[in-house]
Amino acid sequence: MILTIDIGNSRIKVAVFEHNKQLDFFIFETNEALKNFENIFQKYPNLQKIILSSVGKLDEEVIEFIQNRFPTEIIDHKSKFPFTNLYATPETLGIDRMVLAAGATLMYPNQNRLIIDAGTCITYDFVNTKNQYLGGAISPGIKIRYKSLNNYTLKLPLLSISEDFNLVGNSTKNAIHSGIINGVIFEIEGFISQYSLKNQDLTIILTGGDADFLAKRLKSTIFANSNFLLESLNLLSLYIHQK
CATH of 2-74, one of 3.30.420.40, 3.20.20.70, 4.10.520.10, 1.50.10.20: 3.30.420.40
Identity of residue 190: G
Q: Which residues of 126-152 are buried (b: 16+ CB within 10 A; e: fewer)?
A: bbbeebebbebeebbbbbbbbeebeee
pLDDT at position 43 is 96
Q: Tell me how long the chain is.
A: 243
pLDDT for residue 210 is more than 80:
yes
- Residues 215-238: pLDDT tens digits? 999 988 789 999 999 999 999 999
Q: Using 50, 70 and 90 to split pLDDT, how confident is the model at 243? A: low
Bridging pattern class, strands 11-18 and 21-29? antiparallel
| Homologous superfamily (CATH) for 84-234 | ATPase, nucleotide binding domain (3.30.420.40)
pLDDT for residue 51 is more than 80:
yes
Question: pTM of the predicted model, to two decimals?
Answer: 0.93
Nearest Cα to 99, choosing from 211, 205, 200?
205
pLDDT at position 110 is 92
In the predicted model, what is the mean pLDDT of residues 195-214? 94
HSE-up (13 A, CA, CB side) for residue 85: 19
DSSP secondary structure letters along the chain: -EEEEEE-SSEEEEEEEETTEEEEEEEEEGGGHHHHHHHHHHH-TT--EEEEEESS---HHHHHHHHHHS-EEE--TTS--SSEE--SSGGGS-HHHHHHHHHHHHHSTTSEEEEEEESSEEEEEEE-TTSEEEEEEEEE-HHHHHHHHHHT-SS-------S---SS-SSHHHHHHIIIIIHHHHHHHHHHHHHHHH-SSEEEEEESTTHHHHHTT--S--EE-TTHHHHHHHHHHHHHT--
pLDDT at position 10 is 76
**Residue-range domain boundaries for the chain:** 2-74, 84-234
> Do the first three CATH levels of 2-74 and 84-234 match, i.e. the same topology?
yes
24, 59, 76, 96: the catalytic one is: 96
Q: Degrees (nearest 5) of the Cα angle 159, 164, 165? A: 80
- Residues 99-108: pLDDT tens digits? 999 999 999 9
Identity of residue 4: T
Mean pLDDT check: name the lowest of 5-14, 144-153, 195-204, 205-214: 5-14
Cα–Cα dist 41/47, whole Å: 8
pLDDT at position 219 is 85
For the question of residue 96 being annotated catalytic, the response is: yes
- Residues 70-115: pLDDT tens digits? 999 999 999 999 999 999 999 999 999 999 999 999 999 999 999 9
CA dihedral 152, 212, 234, 19 (to 10 degrees): 170
Cα–Cα dist 133/146, whole Å: 31
Note whether 31 and 44 are within 8 A (CB). Answer: no
- Residues 128-168: pLDDT tens digits? 999 999 999 999 999 999 999 999 999 999 999 988 889 99
